[in-house]
Structure 1
Amino acid sequence: MKTIFLSIVSFLSISVLAQNNLENDLNKALNSSEKSSLVELVKNYPNEWLPKYYLALSEVVSILEKDNKNDSSKVLDEAKSLINKLEKQDPTNVEVLNLKALYLTAEIVQDPLTNGGIYYPDVLETYQKALRLNPNNPRSILGLAEFNINAANYIGTDTTEDCKNVKKSLALFTNEKPKKNEPKWGKERAEELLKNQCK
């Protein structure tokens, strides 16, 4: 009995140590501007979701901000591969669903006329699935609202409710208490939307 107890304590100690190492390494990688830091982290922690999440997020954001215009197809393929792995790992992870919707949005941005019709329903469905799993996730609420606000430029829909949802997300961001290094981005984006597109 004592041996079993010591084995459990030892296992827990190793798990805590590995978790602390991940948190420290992830913190360093997120504070670095080098993509290679995140790539290395994915290799070092193949079973952890956060390194893959942040690497895919950085790639998708680079496309949305047009930092990678020349290599956009390659970058999006890399992001898609990571997101597929994350979905297999945990198909009900709301943050992964938010990331997937953002990736699909980046696909639309590449060629709105062609890809809009292909990916538009998928973006809506992905955010709606995330909201069914957690109706109070601020990134899900903000992501769907922003997507609708941007789509309104093409299809002319009313954005009153979407702007209300941006305000709702802002309140949720303020009260959000994520675990260390878990996603907490979006508050600044909500403030920007309210200032520029929800006057």
Structure 2
Amino acid sequence: ISNNEKTEWLPLYYASFAYIMISFQEPENAKKDTYLDQAQKYLDQATVIEPNESELYLLQGFLYPSRMNINPMNRGIVYIGKMTASLDKALELNPDNPRIYYLRATMTFHTPEAYGGGAAKALPLYQMADEKFRIFKPKTELSPNWGKEINEAELKKLQEAQKQ
């Protein structure tokens, strides 16, 4: 579809999103990088078409930690700042996008407490994402609308862990 719809960013967005998701299922790091390279290619093309679309910066902020997770010790320093900058840009363009808060919560949860992360710091971000998801309405029926279920699951786990 993205080859036929040269002026539409959504097919490229979904192609990129699909390659990112495939990379999570791939056990071999070299293949993960290949999938993420393809995801980046589609994302770059989409950003040329729609340079002020928050969803594209959000997706970039999702792609960077996917690369980082391949080799956190070596890649963390490279990608954490890029992820933060991408999410900052997405937030600037659309502060009502709940996926921004979900990704920030996830990043915070997986950051060691010694570096300002951890479950206690992530919980209010998951709660904020939950509030945003409750009122979020996609622009169109084809617009990105993922993340609510995983955010709810993560929020529930953290809330249950707090009770113990």
Regarding TM over 0.5, the answer is yes
1:185 is matched with which residue?
Answer: 146
Q: For residues 154 and 117 of structure 1, do their structure 2 counterparts lie closer, same or farther at Cα, with a shift above 3 Å needed?
A: farther
Which of the numbers 32, 38, 42 marks the counterpart of 1:82?
A: 42
How far off is 1:140 after superposition? Answer: 0.8
TM-score by length of 1: 0.73
**Is 2:93 the partner of 1:138?**
no
Which of the numbers 46, 69, 78 marks the counterpart of 2:27?
A: 69
Matched residues in 2 for 1:169 and 1:156: separation? Answer: 19
How far off is 1:130 after superposition? Answer: 1.1
TM-score by length of 2: 0.87
**Is 2:25 the partner of 1:49?**
no
Runs of 4+ in 1 over 6 A off after TM superposition: none
RMSD across aligned positions (CA): 1.8
Contact 1:152 1:159 in 2 (8 A): no
Matched residues in 2 for 1:87 and 1:197: separation? Answer: 35
2:156 is matched with which residue?
Answer: 195
**Is 2:150 the partner of 1:173?**
no
Q: For residues 195 and 73 of structure 1, do their structure 2 counterparts lie closer, same or farther at Cα, with a shift above 3 Å needed?
A: same
Higher relative contact order (CA 8 A, sep 6+): 2
Once the two structures are aligned, what percentage of the paired residues are identical? 24
Q: For residues 196 and 153 of structure 1, do their structure 2 counterparts lie closer, same or farther at Cα, with a shift above 3 Å needed?
A: farther
Contact 2:57 2:90 in 1 (8 A): yes
Q: Deviations over 1:112-143 (max 9, x none)?
A: 01110111111111111111222221011111
Q: For residues 182 and 107 of structure 1, do their structure 2 counterparts lie closer, same or farther at Cα, with a shift above 3 Å needed?
A: same
How far off is 1:159 after superposition? Answer: 4.3
The within-5 A match list for 1:23-62 is 41-62=1-22
Matched residues in 2 for 1:154 and 1:47: separation? Answer: 46
The residue matched to 1:129 in structure 2 has which SS? Answer: helix
**Structure 1, gaps ≥5 residues long:** 1-40
Matched residues in 1 for 2:78 and 2:130: separation? Answer: 30
**Structure 2, gaps ≥5 residues long:** none
Q: For residues 52 and 154 of structure 1, do their structure 2 counterparts lie closer, same or farther at Cα, with a shift above 3 Å needed?
A: farther
The residue matched to 1:43 in structure 2 has which SS? Answer: coil
Q: Deviations over 1:56-114 (max 9, x none)?
A: 10111222x3x123321211110111111122222221000010010101010111011
1:118 is matched with which residue?
Answer: 78
Number of equivalenced pairs: 157
